[in-house]
Chain A
């Protein structure tokens, strides 16, 4: 911190201008945020990292060191492997689906002539839903007995009997995915819509003169100019990806029979229900690394697009 340089002001006022005052200011402005994040995020993570090397559990809270036993057990646990793969698949598919659908919505809304701002307001509605409530709502929609989806399919004569949406592994993953994408798409659409509307109409007029069709205009003008907006949208998506936990835990709870188990549902199952806290801590550490790896990748892009 001592070698602080104030980007513009101090530099231009010759380097001797009160570097100390600026340093104190920077430290003072940053430390409240850093302290609270250390207390709420870093400290618990370190604590649970430590516990993941012990035999700690909620019934017998002794911290006997047992090396890598918990991590070895993870490698031998087929359900953990399954949950790991499910989680990666889930994050990859829902982020991409939310992005593509959001992009599509933003493009069609940008072309509407009537009530564009009303449409934008409507888009915000899913953002106000608590993720828990999204979970409950879609659990009911996909319920095989009374749910709206089967009910409508039956009424339309498309279905006899019922589809076991939340029982079959892939159907259940699909249903959870639909709920998650429903919750996450609007923010993408809103940001990309703002981006699309910020593009100068003259560019499109010039393209019209050259006889470009809609797809060519999208490829050559809209998409490249949306670049920074896309990064913002993907960053928000990746930061909130773990909110999917609320939805999964309510719609299926990882079941039936671990079919839709994600790391987020398997950790509390092991740590609380089976009261193997240390085992759960080891697992949650792997979860953190997977999630953060995903986010770091997207952040790299963000940092690159910025002059720091």
Chain B
């Protein structure tokens, strides 16, 4: 009796402690949302005001075409539209291409396979800063001579984000396809399925959780990417939301509340996307590890 009640106390203390640690860790996230709905007096108040005393949506006004004292109106609708377009299209293409390649890595053996796999993975680790400048020069040249415009256009960004997100998808899907019993494919081929049919009809449906995990990663990476977008975009034609955040920075001041408001709105699609496929994220990431 005594040990079980002691154990219960220990477990309660632990739970409280863990929740405390996690909430403390998330202060930056809460703070962002709180700042977006604060009265400007509270934003830099000393001592800090933790929970906003009054809520105001003033901070969101610049996003919807109304200027406030701190900043003029921000063409947020354009940024948001560009971000959604670029993130969704590049995610769809990257997941499709990466899944195809991942399947081949999981199921076939050929010369130079390890080297090819390693090279594809390493292409993801190349820092954006080493790519953005030469990409700018190349895209600028192509835009001058060719019919396709790649600088300051969503198309250019989509192409870049597909390439950035393919390697991770290849890696995840390779692990996923390895877990699907090969006997299923063998049976299908004996029944006369082609290579392509074996892939689409047998393996692909079983790998859907992996597709979901890959899609989250690709989407978040594209949605939040800043380094390359800041070099390749120039105007509202192609500027994405992370680049647009800089509209709130002046030479010496930053409109924290406006910026927090925009960042809060930016997180909504990300949160929605992650929640929809959350279960599959963990499963997808760790699938290859459970034996």
User: Hey, which bits of chain A sit against chain B, CB under 8 A?
Assistant: 1, 3-9, 12-13, 21-23, 25-26, 29-30, 32-34, 36-37, 39-45, 47-48, 51, 105, 108-109, 111-115, 119-134, 136-138, 140-141, 146, 148, 151-152, 154-155, 182, 190-191, 194-195, 198, 228-229, 231-232, 235, 238-239, 241-242, 245-246, 263-264, 267-268, 271-272, 277, 280-281, 284-285, 287-288, 291-292, 294-296, 299, 303, 306, 308
Contacts and interface: CB of A to CB of B under 8 A. Distances in A.
B54 interface: no
B155 interface: no
B223 to A, nearest CB: 7
Contact of A229 (B117, B118, B131, B289): B289
A194 B19 CA distance: 18
A266 to B, nearest CB: 9
Interface in B236-291: 241-242, 245, 254, 256, 259, 263, 266-267, 270-271, 274, 278, 281-283, 285-286, 288-291
Contact of A122 (B26, B120, B130, B160): B26
B226 A130 contact: yes
Contacts of A296: 118, 122
A59 B127 CA distance: 25
Interface in B141-172: 159-160, 162-164, 166-168, 170-171
B217 to A, nearest CB: 9
A12 B185 CA distance: 12
A136 B254 contact: yes
B130 A284 contact: yes
Contacts of A271: 133
Given A129-B29, A245-B129, A33 B226 contact: no
Which of A128, A242, A268 has the most CB atoms of chain B within a 10 A radius of its CB? A128
Contacts of B130: 45, 48, 267, 284-285, 287-288
Contact of A51 (B32, B48, B134, B199): B134
B107 A6 contact: yes
Interface string B206-246: 00000000000000100110110000000000000110010
B162 to A, nearest CB: 6
Given A47-B138, A292-B122, A119 B19 contact: yes
12 contacts: A33-B166, A43-B138, A45-B126, A45-B130, A45-B131, A48-B130, A120-B282, A125-B29, A137-B31, A151-B47, A190-B281, A280-B133
Contacts, number: 289
Given A1-B110, A112-B19, 18 more contacts: A40-B135, A40-B159, A47-B137, A108-B17, A112-B14, A112-B15, A115-B15, A126-B25, A128-B220, A129-B29, A133-B245, A137-B32, A182-B28, A190-B282, A195-B286, A228-B291, A284-B130, A291-B126
Interface string B180-195: 0010011001000011
A285 to B, nearest CB: 7
Given A130-B226, A287-B129, A115 B19 contact: yes
A268 B230 CA distance: 12
A281 B126 contact: no
Contacts of A239: 121, 124-125, 167-168
Interface string B6-38: 000001001101110111011011011000000
Contact of B104 (A30, A42, A235): A30
A134 B281 CA distance: 22
Nearest to B290: A198
B114 interface: yes
A9 B98 contact: no
Given A26-B108, A108-B17, A113-B15, A136 B22 contact: no
Contact of B274 (A3, A127, A136, A246): A127
Which of B103, B196, B220, B226 has the most CB atoms of chain A within a 10 A radius of its CB? B226
Which of A13, A29, A42 has the most CB atoms of chain B within a 10 A radius of its CB? A29
Given A112-B15, A130-B224, A284-B133, A194 B97 contact: no
